[in-house]
Amino acid sequence: MSSILRNAASIVGVGETEYCKVGRATRSEFELACIAVLRAIEDAGLEVSDVDGLCAYASERSAPVALAPALGMSELQFVNLYPGGGNSAAGIVHNAALAVSAGVANTVVCYRSLCQGALRFGRARAGHGSSAQPMGASIGGPQAFTAPFGLFSPAQMYALDARRHMHEFGTTSAQFGAVAVASYANAQRNPRAVMHGHPLTLEQHQASRMIADPYRLYDCCQESDGACAVVVTSSERARDLRQPRVLITAGAQGMERGDGNERQSRPAPLWTTAGQASVARRLYRDAGIGPEDIDVIQVYENFTGQVVMALEDFGFCERGEGGPFVESGAIDWPNGRFPINTSGGNLAEAYVHGLSLVIEGARQLRGTSTSQVEGAAHCLVVGGPSAPPSSALVLSRD
């Protein structure tokens, strides 16, 4: 794969709608998807007729079969859905790049629309993702053994991993809070961020209400309404388009042996990890670089503890040292060695299942981020930690 993909495809366009708190969108989820896709195409200097491929999350309700005719797209040569939610953030871009590199498609749009005002996860429904069931409905599979004991929401499920990390390595709630504080600080420079104008201190984090021990309010991602999209085409064609091309140097996806979406089924060695160590190894191998070459990181933060574990999996610190690593200021902008989530991320910009992190990575390499890392040449984008099959990208400046 590396010989086919490395730098053969590029991100050439990005598009977003306004992001807002859950339930405050003034347009339907489908309208938002269409707007984001059109803005990404326009940003690239292309026409709708140039698009011959679409990539979306498997849980995307604005399905490609509806979006393509609504926008008047020509015949599509490639349509792809990546399984899951936030784990898809880098995966759909990776799949688009593979399709372009293999000559299956010329121009692919990756998109995600999410109006959580239409579906409140962990409240009105049990389960997660597109398989969620109305409360009171029959529940099968592994959930039949956990739902009767109250294990419903993602916060409850992922808190189990975090608590185990704390038990084994001495990680603290304040160290999780360092991730939230860094993200909120970046959002204060980003006028697109829902939490722009709402800074967060560690003291506020520690005083916030408990959601699922050890996760407090500010350890949890937002519930948001919005949509975003990116355009992927060949790097050769990208030379002649409107925006500076952002090279897709490498992508990797997959899952560890024995891992799965049900937290209780994870093998014991994975309980204190993001389940991404093998993805990280293949990503760096195919990119021809290591963690020391990364300048800025966009890492999916459904919950702060999963960020700590992902940083360990991707080699920025040793196993069990993620807590002291984030507490040290290494992830802070502008002085940290590895600034993270420079737009504010899922915690403070908006929760659009992580595709906005890819857009922020592209902005960093275009030199247009509101928290620009000087001289950024390589950006790591990590899809949902502890949510297999996971995915990651290395994006590079031309």
pLDDT for the residue numbered 131: 39
pLDDT for the residue numbered 137: 52
Tell me how far apart the alpha carbons of residues 43 and 39 are, in angstroms, rounded to a whole number: 6
- To the query of whether residue 218 is one of the catalytic residues in this protein, the response is no
Confidence of residue 164 (pLDDT cuts 50, 70, 90): very high
* Alpha helix segments (H runs only) across the chain: 2-5, 29-44, 64-71, 91-101, 143-146, 154-169, 173-187, 202-207, 235-238, 277-287, 304-313, 322-327, 345-348, 355-366
Task: Express each pLDDT in 220-265 by its tens digit.
Answer: 999 999 999 999 999 999 999 999 999 999 999 998 787 766 656 6
DSSP conformational letter for 125: E
C-beta separation of 292 from 337 below 8 A:
no
pLDDT for the residue numbered 333: 98
pLDDT for the residue numbered 138: 59
Catalytic residue among 82, 111, 218, 351: 351
pLDDT for the residue numbered 387: 81
Task: Express each pLDDT in 43-84 by its tens digit.
Answer: 999 999 999 999 999 999 999 999 999 999 989 999 999 998
Give domain 2-117+221-397's CATH architecture: 3-Layer(aba) Sandwich (3.40)
Q: Which residues contact 278 (CB under 8 A, 6 or more apart)?
A: 254, 256
Classify residue 231 by burial, with Cβ atoms within 10 Å: 0-12, 13-18, 19+: buried
Confidence of residue 153 (pLDDT cuts 50, 70, 90): confident
pLDDT for the residue numbered 74: 86
pLDDT for the residue numbered 261: 60
pLDDT for the residue numbered 246: 98
Q: What are the CA-CA distances from residue 99 to residues 1, 69, 77, 142, 212 (Å)?
A: 11, 21, 10, 35, 41
DSSP conformational letter for 195: T
- 373 closest CA partner among 347, 342, 344, 394: 342
What is the pTM (predicted TM-score) of this model?
Answer: 0.93
Confidence of residue 5 (pLDDT cuts 50, 70, 90): confident
Confidence of residue 392 (pLDDT cuts 50, 70, 90): very high
- To the query of whether residue 300 is one of the catalytic residues in this protein, the response is yes
Q: Report the share of the chain in percent with pLDDT over 90.
A: 79
Task: Express each pLDDT in 259-301 by its tens digit.
Answer: 766 656 677 788 899 899 999 999 999 999 999 999 999 999 9
C-beta separation of 116 from 224 below 8 A:
yes
Task: Express each pLDDT in 363-377 by its tens digit.
Answer: 999 999 999 999 999
Task: Express each pLDDT in 94-144 by its tens digit.
Answer: 999 999 999 999 999 999 999 976 654 444 333 333 334 444 455 667 677
Catalytic residue among 19, 57, 82, 300: 300
More confident residue, 16 or 138: 16
* Angle of helix 173-187 versus helix 304-313 axis, rounded to 10: 100
Average model confidence (pLDDT) across the chain: 91
pLDDT for the residue numbered 120: 45
